[in-house]
């Protein structure tokens, strides 16, 4: 719910692109219950009421408050969404969205009734033939009673699953929003904070309530604020901004930690899924392409999610149809045969070098879905009837970076590398040298932080500490005087891999605190070369031992053997964390395969 003053400020739905309107409709199939937080405009520098006479930005509203959004809070009525309208805001300097509330739970029907009641009461209060001063008091009283109702409502016994923010950014550049949630009565109040990036276009941010509960007791009244980091004249459209309880079948599909595990690849059936009709029976002339699913594929491809095919068909015939429609380029390693689809899933995961549990499988046939589910319980299985709503799934809400938009191309380049490697006659080290692999090192910065965040969330096989850095922690690390950061880019004669790794070194000891790599560079000796570079950088000048942390898991155990291969030895173990040491007396073995550009000099390692 929003402040009553918006009720006569309307804008046509035609100002929002039709495709974006459809995106705002997607939550209706996910959200079973929600809170009904009473959002209003507020000021980051509020000193009410003295600021009304001293602040140059004060602009009087009808209720006497300060108008902090240019043109006020503009309502755009819309059907078939979890709430009956969108909110368009043009932020002034120091403006923020603010609300108080409690975890009172309402069904969609109950919340819609509350919204419409609020709209009616606000309209009556605004249209009442009252003197200006009295009308100001009436409108202020309406807002006050709404806040009191939200605070005093009884919280649900079961905590919600997520705090969700739907946002449409019509500009070409992203804006960062700071979300803060804090207790109303705890002094000093601890706060949960999260930087949310309003990317260009539509975006849903899923914030796990389990993360918020670590800092804030949501069973007591709390307050929430959303502040744009660049407020002046920023235009954003908001839809759902509430705590949400998902339908049971949606909750079952989230990661065991309570946070959704991002999908790395979606595997599609063809007949009566990607197209209407059956190729072998109807022939290609009678097939009809599902353009809505093609748009889903294109958008998830832009987000860095890969695609493949598991279809029971004749390979040449099916590929010919995909080529005819110009969409064959989107599918990596398509498995089109008469084998069980679980076998296709296994092959795709192996060829992409990703875990099976990071795949989703879309099919119209219950038998095929159950066959895959039986073989791989951790694979997300999706009925074709639900495929049009994949974009709103939490597993598809991933950071969009320069590298993610090029991910499919990078895998296609990797396929070319494998073809060349398989035809190469000679030893593997010689092949790697002829690939002319180059590594460029940079410090963690605002320009690459989002990609490092994405890397931390997605990396499993070559994540040697298990860290899943939130954006806020990366921002803190960036400012640390005791640590040095390394953002690792890689390229070879076939093309660029983009940012493939991140490392954190405590320069006081020195100790490698964290190291993670994309699996795209696995087996290319990049990780070995980088470790040799670190040892040479920190150990040789002052003749010091160099230490490293390594948390061994079943997934990173095989690539983790690089520590032993280079010459590290284990000196301690505690709670599964190994402390490794490279003695200062040991010589560094160089393979002279990879060129590393760091500290403004080039090193062959």
Centre a 10 Å sphere on the Cβ of residue 24 and count the other Cβ atoms it contains.
Answer: 25
Two tokens, residue 430 = 């010689």
CA dihedral 465, 470, 473, 474 (to 10 degrees): 80
What does the pLDDT look like over 47-99, one tens digit per residue? 556 666 566 666 776 666 676 677 777 888 887 667 788 888 888 777 888 89
Q: Is 558 exposed, middle or buried (0-12, 13-18, 19+ CB in 10 A)?
A: exposed
What pLDDT sits at residue 506?
94
pTM greater than 0.85 = no
- According to the 3-state scheme, what is the secondary structure of 346-396? HHHHHHHCCCHHHEEEEECCHHHHHHHHHHCCCCEEEEHHHHHHHHHCHHH
> Are 92 and 231 in contact, with CB atoms under 8 Å apart?
yes
Which residue, 268, 412, 414, 409, is CA-closest to 336?
268
Q: Which fold has domain 265-396?
A: Rossmann fold (3.40.50)
- Residue intervals of the chain classified under CATH 3.40.630.30 are 418-604
Task: Quick: pLDDT tens for 499-546.
Answer: 999 999 999 989 999 999 988 788 888 999 999 999 989 887 778 899
Domain 418-604, CATH number (from 3.40.630.30, 3.40.350.10, 3.30.420.10, 3.90.220.20): 3.40.630.30
- List where CATH 3.40.50.1000 sits in the chain: 265-396
| Regions of the chain where pLDDT drops below 70 | 1-9, 44-58, 61-65, 67-68, 80-81, 135, 186-189, 231-232, 249-260, 425, 599-605
């Amino acid at each position: 719910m929003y402040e009553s003053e918006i009720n006569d400020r309307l804008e046509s739905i035609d100002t929002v692109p039709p495709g974006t309107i459809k995106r705002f409709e997607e939550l209706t199939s996910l959200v079973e219950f929600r809170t009904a937080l009473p959002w209003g405009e507020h000021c980051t520098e509020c000193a009410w009421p003295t600021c009304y006479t001293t602040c140059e930005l004060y602009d009087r509203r009808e209720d006497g408050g300060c108008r902090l959004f240019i043109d006020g809070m503009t309502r755009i009525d819309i059907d078939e969404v979890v709430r009956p309208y969108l909110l368009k805001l043009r932020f002034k300097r120091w403006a923020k969205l603010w609300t108080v509330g409690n975890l009172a739970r309402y069904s969609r029907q109950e919340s819609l009734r509350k919204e419409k009641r609020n709209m009616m009461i606000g309209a009556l209060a605004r249209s009442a033939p009252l003197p200006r001063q009295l009308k100001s008091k009436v409108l202020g009283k309406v807002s006050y009673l709404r806040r009191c109702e939200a605070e005093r409502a009884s919280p649900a016994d079961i905590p919600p699953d997520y705090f969700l923010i739907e946002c449409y950014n019509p500009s070409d550049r992203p804006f960062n929003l700071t979300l803060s949630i804090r207790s109303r009565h705890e002094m000093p109040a601890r706060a949960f904070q999260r930087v949310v990036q309003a990317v260009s276009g539509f975006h849903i941010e899923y914030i796990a309530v389990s993360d918020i509960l670590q800092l804030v007791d949501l069973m007591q009244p709390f307050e929430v604020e959303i502040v744009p980091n660049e407020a002046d004249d920023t235009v954003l459209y908001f839809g759902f901004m509430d705590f949400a309880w998902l339908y049971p079948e949606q909750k079952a599909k989230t990661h065991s930690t309570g946070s959704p595990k991002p999908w790395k690849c979606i595997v599609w059936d063809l007949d009566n899924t990607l197209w209407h009709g059956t190729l072998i029976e109807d022939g290609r002339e009678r097939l009809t392409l599902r353009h809505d699913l093609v748009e889903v594929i294109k958008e998830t491809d832009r987000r860095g999610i890969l695609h493949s095919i598991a279809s029971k068909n004749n390979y040449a015939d099916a590929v010919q149809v995909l080529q005819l429609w110009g969409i064959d380029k989107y599918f990596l390693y398509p498995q089109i045969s008469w084998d069980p689809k679980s076998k296709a899933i296994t092959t795709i995961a192996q060829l992409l070098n990703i875990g099976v549990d990071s795949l989703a499988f879309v099919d119209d046939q219950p038998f095929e879905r159950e066959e895959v589910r039986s073989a791989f319980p951790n694979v997300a299985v999706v009925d074709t009837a639900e495929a049009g709503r994949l974009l709103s799934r939490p597993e598809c809400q991933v950071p969009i970076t320069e590298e993610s938009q090029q991910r499919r191309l990078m895998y296609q380049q990797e396929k070319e590398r494998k073809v060349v490697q398989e035809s190469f006659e000679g030893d593997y080290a010689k092949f790697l040298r002829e690939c002319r692999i180059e590594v460029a090192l940079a410090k963690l910065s605002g320009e690459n932080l989002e990609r490092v965040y994405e890397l931390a969330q997605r990396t499993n096989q070559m994540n040697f500490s298990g860290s899943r850095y939130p954006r806020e922690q990366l921002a803190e690390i960036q400012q640390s005087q005791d640590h040095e950061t390394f953002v690792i880019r890689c390229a070879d004669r076939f093309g660029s891999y983009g940012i493939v790794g991140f490392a954190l070194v405590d320069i006081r000891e020195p100790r490698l605190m964290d190291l993670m790599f994309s699996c795209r560079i696995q087996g290319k000796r990049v990780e070995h070369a980088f470790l040799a570079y670190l040892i040479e950088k920190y150990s040789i000048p002052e003749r010091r031992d160099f230490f490293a942390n390594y948390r061994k898991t079943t997934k990173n155990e095989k690539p983790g053997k690089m520590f032993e291969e280079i010459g590290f030895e284990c000196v301690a173990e505690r709670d599964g964390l190994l402390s490794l040491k490279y003695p200062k007396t040991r010589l560094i073995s160089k393979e002279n395969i990879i060129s590393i550009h760091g500290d403004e000099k080039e090193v062959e390692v």
